[in-house]
Amino acid sequence: MRKTFEPQITFGTVPMSNIKFDIFCRHELVPILMALQQLYFNKPVLNEILVLIKEDIVEDKDEKLRGDSFVVQKNIHYPTDANLILDGIELQ
C-alpha cells in the first residue's frame, strides 16, 4: 500500500529543500532526484506535467489491449551466494 506524503515535518527529519546532492557522483539516480526535488517546489510545472500524464493514461485506456501469458514451473529459493552462482551456470 502506498504511504501518502506528509507535508508536516516531524522531529529529526531533514526538509526536502535542505537536501544537497553530490553533483559529481556518477550514479544515474542523482540527476533524477535533483529533478524531482525541483518539481516538488515548482507547483505550476508539476501540475502541468501531471495533467499531461493523466491525458496520456486516458488515451491509453481507450485502446484495446490484449495480452497472452503462460505459467512455467520453477524452483524458487532464497538467493544465497551459492544459489546465485549455481543459477548463473545452470547446473542440472
Q: Which residues contact 1 (CB under 8 A, 6 or more apart)?
A: none
Domain ranges of the chain: 21-64
5 vs 87: CA distance, rounded Å: 39
pTM passes above 0.85: no
Q: How many angstroms separate the first and last alpha carbons of the chain?
A: 39
Q: Is the dihedral of CA 74, 76, 79, 83 positive or negative?
A: negative
pLDDT at 2: 61
pLDDT digits over 30-89, tens only?
999 898 888 888 889 888 988 888 888 776 665 666 667 777 777 777 778 777 777 777
Contact 37, 19 (CB under 8 A): yes
